[in-house]
Amino acid sequence: MREWGRIGCIGFGGPPAHIRLLRDLCVERRQWMDAQEFEDAIAVCNLLPGPASTQLAIFCAWRLRGRAGALAGGAAFIVPGLIIILALAALFLSTSPPLWVLGAGAGAGAAVPAVAIHAGTGLTGASWRRRANAAGWLCYLIAGAASAATLGRWLVLVLLGCGLIELTVQFTGRRRHDANLPGVAVAPVLAAGAIGSGVLLSVAWVAFKVGALSYGGGFVIIPLMQSDAVSHYHWMTGAQFLNAVALGQITPGPVVQTVAVVGYAAAGLIGGILASLVAFSPSFAFVLLGAHRFDQIRGDHRARAFLAGAGPAAIGAIYGSAIPLTRALSHTWQYAVLAGALALLLVLRRGVVLTLLSAGAAGIVIALAVSTALQ
């Protein structure tokens, strides 16, 4: 538990950093797993909906100490970042935050669309190389991008639809006995009607979509949450949502922690904790109930076929999310910060955390130097 807590405290940089730290701990230093088993676990977690690096952390803890280890290790991995992001949410979402806080939020928020584009480019190459059909891959990518830019809260249906279309295309005419998918891809949809009205139930529903119905990494959740939190429920302004995304990127641990800021905006501390609990519960469930079948899941052709459709759509959704995120910018100078962030990430190839901190620092300088910058 101590080791997983350490990773939860120093795991800045999102899934690549988490995977690197887990590999160093479990494969290279302690040798609790061999390299092949670790790579297989990564592959299976990428087939599952929800935050893959969190599921990998839970699986590694399960591999070491069974279900009790999975619960303890997963919690140790998640809780440090949750505490930090809720404290920052209280600061950034307060009724009268200091001017420097507003400047930092506006500056870091301006860089968020660039981070989305950077995240999409990081996933595109590997997905393109795995494509079964180039035309189909492009169609799924475009469908995801268009849906993220226009449909928002209904994006999850497009992701699932693309996966099911590809599944149908690949398996039309296949023999029936080849169809024993363990139900990991679409089973969460069965719970879709379980959430009713009320603020906390609405928070739980948004968090459930984030944790159980999203494919392709942390940034797929952005258009889902933005539409619900800003346009539908009006828990946050567009600028506050950009702050929430930035906070999820610069804090250690899972990027999905962004949902805790949304929950905090909706219902205070209880809402933030509830959102995090619901968002991460499916990841624990997938590992606790299915870890012993990870080998079977990885080799299941139907799971791979589903991801062949949902995966490109999710990448498209990441690209498409940059459009509503850019529309949420409210100050002219933020577009200059956005251009600088794009240059840092795509041209100079600097890290996401450094880029967001630099953008936040620029925002502070501008806010303090020009009194009308945030008006």
pLDDT at residue 216, rounded to an integer: 60
345, part of any domain = yes
94, part of any domain = yes
Span 206-264, pLDDT tens digits: 999 888 877 666 677 788 788 899 989 999 999 899 999 999 888 888 878 999 999 99
pLDDT at residue 319, rounded to an integer: 92
221, part of any domain = yes
pLDDT at residue 184, rounded to an integer: 43
pLDDT at residue 305, rounded to an integer: 85
374, part of any domain = no
Report residue 86: phi and psi, to 5°: -70, -35
The Cα 274–Cα 264 span in angstroms is: 9
Neighbours of 2 (CB within 10 A): 7
pLDDT at residue 174, rounded to an integer: 57
Helix H segments across the chain? 2-10, 15-23, 35-47, 52-92, 99-129, 134-150, 155-171, 199-212, 221-226, 238-250, 258-290, 294-299, 301-327, 332-342, 352-369
Helix axes 52-92, 258-290, angle to 10 degrees: 160
pLDDT at residue 375, rounded to an integer: 62
pLDDT at residue 45, rounded to an integer: 85
CA-wise closest residue to 260 among 306, 310, 204, 212: 204
Per the structure, the count of domains in the chain is 1
263, part of any domain = yes
- What is the domain extent for residue 360? 2-369
Query: Which residue numbers in the chain have pLDDT < 50?
Result: 175-179, 181-196
pTM over 0.85: no
375, part of any domain = no
Span 120-156, pLDDT tens digits: 888 888 888 888 789 999 999 999 999 988 887 778 7
pLDDT at residue 281, rounded to an integer: 95
pLDDT at residue 177, rounded to an integer: 47
pLDDT at residue 237, rounded to an integer: 92
